Structure 1
Amino acid sequence: LGIAPDPHFKNRREFLLSKTSFKPRNNYPFTERLYAGWKNPLLTSKQGYFEVVFNPPEKAKEFLLIWANYLKYQRVEPLRSNPHPFAFTNSL
């Protein structure tokens, strides 16, 4: 479930396996540290994802500024030899 960010792939799982050695995090056993799950989210799309709605809408701009600063100043990029899809990182 979940649309791939590239139309050449059938789903998110196929996309991840082509780019990294990871599968979707909800496909790992519950006891494994890579596991991450959702508690019955309301999927707003038939393509298997949901949209984030900011309320009040001005909070979207605030989030974007914080996100851009995180990417610029704090995020640790993965090694080219070991790519991963994780947004939040703290070490190599």
Structure 2
Amino acid sequence: MKDTIRQLIQQALTRLVTEGVLPEGLTPAIQVENARDKTHGDFASNIAMMLAKPAGMKPRDLAEKLIAALPADEQVSKVEIAGPGFLNFFQNT
């Protein structure tokens, strides 16, 4: 599942570069971890916080754009923003 989420995030990043939201040449190591608190989702990523500075954006603003650019996937029921810009992924059961 972590690999699926990484792929979804990569697709969203590619879309945001194509749309001119993100600069070209960013090659982040996309980190996806098990969520510590399951009420906040099953998996979490800090990608918006990692890319906010090079993108010249606030982490939460970038997180919103990432969520909007994420392709739909039957394994993911929803994605929410938490705290300063974490993306929390909820897995379909």
Fold-level match, TM-score > 0.5?
no
Higher strand share: 2
Give the number of the structure with larger relative contact order, counting CA–CA contacts within 8 Å between residues 6 or more apart.
Answer: 2
Higher helix share: 2
TM-score range, shorter chain: under 0.3
Structure 2 length-normalised TM: 0.23
